[in-house]
Amino acid sequence: MSRGVVTYIVGRFLQSVMVLWIIVTLLFLLFRLAPGNPIANYIDVNFTREQELNLLARFGLDKPLHEQYIVYLVNLFKLDLGETFSYAGRSVLDILKEDLPNTIYLTLSSLLVAYGVGVLGGIAMAALRGSLFERVGTTFTLMTRAAPTFWVGMLLLTFFAFQWKLLPSSGIGPALVRYRWETEWDKLMSPVFWRHMILPTFTLAVYLHGLPLLLMRSNMLEVLDQDYVTMSRLAGYSEWRVMIQTAARNAMLPVLTALTLGIGYSIGGNVVIEVVYSWPGLGRTLVDAVQESDYPLAQGAFFLIAVIIVIMNFIADILYSLLDPRVGASAQAQVS
């Protein structure tokens, strides 16, 4: 790794930290816009003024805005996201710690399926370019990208869960099974959990496979025009070998970057599917928290999702610069 690349990575990292700081500040201001007193929903009608002040002090809301801001930053740094309003006596971090893994499992599994199908589909579309199959296939993919995910989810639910009763309709498993999962590992080892993951994974994959497929297809078409591909053809390699070994390998790189970005965006975008399938993840918690005016929890979930997106954007940038030296050079120019 050259010195230039290291400088670039460090620069990009500092930039990401700054971006995160700005987002966190905006988040702080955004939640001050919340209608009414931020703890209005926490205060009991029987509270005396004194108790109310105590409570304001407990949440640091009695101080001037700039002091609150500093307390907020320091607490974030310590990963102290405050206390929830709607779960008696539990901290925001506590709730989010349970949700985050579920969201990650769902995101990763659906991306894996989507990108697997997408890459293979893209290769097939490129190989069969101009054919009826290709035209129908591409149109179908565009349709899946245009269909609202929750609607696809509703239709799949109707058939697979309610009509044919093949798959469970909601949650991550019956409580009778769930309470025995002491660790995340137990959960992952449980077939029940995977059965519950099938429908939401599939629903998301229906939507997500479009991007890698179209990207792979156009990259393939581009790569197939390159000299080295023509060379391998002339060298007498079979068409499939040319396709897979030479062309596909090179066309994969941008798809990988898109995958990294996809992780970040899916975690923020799974909200609707988590609601349709009652999947206990970050998105559903965010929606519930907003609906129940549990502002600390909503803010915490929002923050966590933003952190993941920024990290993934950073990784994607680095990946891109490492894979494509041209970008590295011009990106360096941008930083310096």
Partner 1 sequence: MSKRLIRLSLMITLLLLMLPAAAQDMGELVPTITVHSVTQAERPIEYETTRLVVENMRELGLDVEHRAISLLQFFDETWYSRVEGEGRVEQPFQMTAWRMVGRPERSEPDEFTYNLFHSSVRDGGYNFIGYNNPDYDALAESQRVETDIETRREIICEAQHVIRNDMVNAYFVHPLTPQLVNTEVFNADSVVTEAGIGVQNFWNWINIEPVGDERNIITATTSNLNVLNPLEIAGDSPSRVTEIVWDRLMRINPDGFPEPWAAESVVWEDDTHVLLTLREGMTWHDGLPVTSADAAYSFEAALAGKMKTNDDGNEFFRAEAQDYYPFARNVMDIEIIDDLSLRLTLETPSGAFETSTLSKLNLIPKHIWEPIMNDLIADDGADVDSIQEEIPIGSGPFKFVAYDVNEFALLASHTDHWAAPKADGWLMNVLPNLEAMLGQIQSGEMNLLWEWPSDPAVLKEIADNNEHLTLFTETSIGFQYFAFNLRYAPFDDVTFRQAVAHVIPQQFIIDNLYSGIAAPADSFVSAALQYWRQCDAPLRSYDFSIDGARELLASAGYSWDDDGRLLYP
Partner 2 sequence: MQQEAMAREGSSGIPAAQFRQGSALRQLWATNLEVFQRDKMALFGLIVFAVFALVALLAPQIAPNDPLIPLKDANGDWISNTLPYWLAEPGEDLEEGYTNTFLLGTTNIGRDIFSQLIHGSRAALLVGFSAAAAVAVIGTVIGLLAGYYGGWVDTILMRAADVAFGIPFIPFIIVIAAFFDPSIWNVVIAMAILLWRDTGRVIRSQVLVIKEQAFVSAARVSGASNLRIIFVYIAPSILPLSFLYGSFAIAWAILTEASVSFLGFSDPETISWGFMLQDAFLSLALTRGAFYWIIPPGLCIMLTVMAGFFIGRGYEEVLFPRLRRM
Q: Which residues are near partner 2 by CB under 8 A? A: 15, 18-20, 22-23, 26, 30-31, 33-35, 129-130, 142-143, 145-151, 154-155, 157-158, 162, 210-211, 214-215, 218, 221-222, 225, 254, 257-258, 261, 265, 267-269, 271-272, 275-276, 283, 286-287, 290-291, 298, 301-302, 305-306, 309-310, 313, 316-317, 320, 324, 326-327, 330-331, 334
Shortest distance, position 126 Cβ to partner 2, whole Å:
10
**Residue 96 or 263: which CB sits closer to partner 1?**
96
Place of tokens 């290291």: 6
- The 10 Å Cβ neighbour count of residue 107 is 25
Choose between 164 and 185: whose C-beta lies nearer to partner 1.
Answer: 164
- Cα gap 116→66, rounded to integer Å: 49
Asked whether the beta carbons of 110 and 198 are under 8 A apart, the reply is no
Provide, rounded to whole angstroms, the least separation between the CB of residue 326 and partner 2: 7
Name which of 43 and 73 has its Cβ closer to partner 1.
43
> CB 105 → partner 2: shortest distance, Å?
19
- The Cα–Cα gap between 331 and 257 comes to 16
CA-based nearest residue to 21, from 63, 80, 76: 76
**Contacts of range 226-229, beta carbons closer than 8 Å, 24 or more positions apart:** 226/250
Nearer to partner 1, 68 or 169 (CB): 169
d(CA 83, CA 223): 54
Instruction: Check: CB of residue 177 under 8 Å from CB of residue 190.
Output: yes
326 binds, among partner 1, partner 2, none (CB under 5 to 8 A by kind): partner 2
Amino acid at 83: E
Contacts 24+ apart (CB under 8 A), 158-163: 160/199, 161/199
CB of 54 to partner 2, least distance (A): 27
Our CB check for partner 2 shows the closer of 187 and 274 to be 274
On whether the CB atoms of residues 260 and 311 are closer than 8 A, the answer is no
Query: Please, which residue, 163 or 336, has the CB nearer to partner 1?
Result: 163
- In angstroms, rounded to a whole number, what is the distance separating the alpha carbons of residues 170 and 4? 50
Q: Closest by alpha carbon to 239, among 120, 123, 133?
A: 123
Query: Which listed option, partner 2, partner 1, none, makes contact with residue 50 (CB within 5 to 8 Å by class)?
Result: partner 1
Torsion of CA 59, 62, 63, 68, to 10 degrees: 30
Contact between residue 209 and residue 111 where contact means Cβ atoms under 8 Å apart: no
Binding site for partner 1 (CB under 8 A): 36-37, 40-41, 43-46, 48-51, 54-55, 58, 86-90, 157, 161-162, 165, 168-171, 174-176, 178-179, 278, 280, 291-294
Residue 148 binding partner per list partner 1, partner 2, none, with a CB distance cut-off of 5 to 8 Å that depends on partner kind: partner 2
The listed partner (partner 1, partner 2, none) that binds 29, CB under 5 to 8 Å by sort, is none
With CB under 5 to 8 Å by kind, the binding choice for 37 among partner 1, partner 2, none is: partner 1
Choose from partner 1, partner 2, none: what does 87 bind? Cβ within 5-8 Å by kind. partner 1
Q: Which residues does residue 83 pair with via DSSP β-bridges, in sequence order?
A: 91
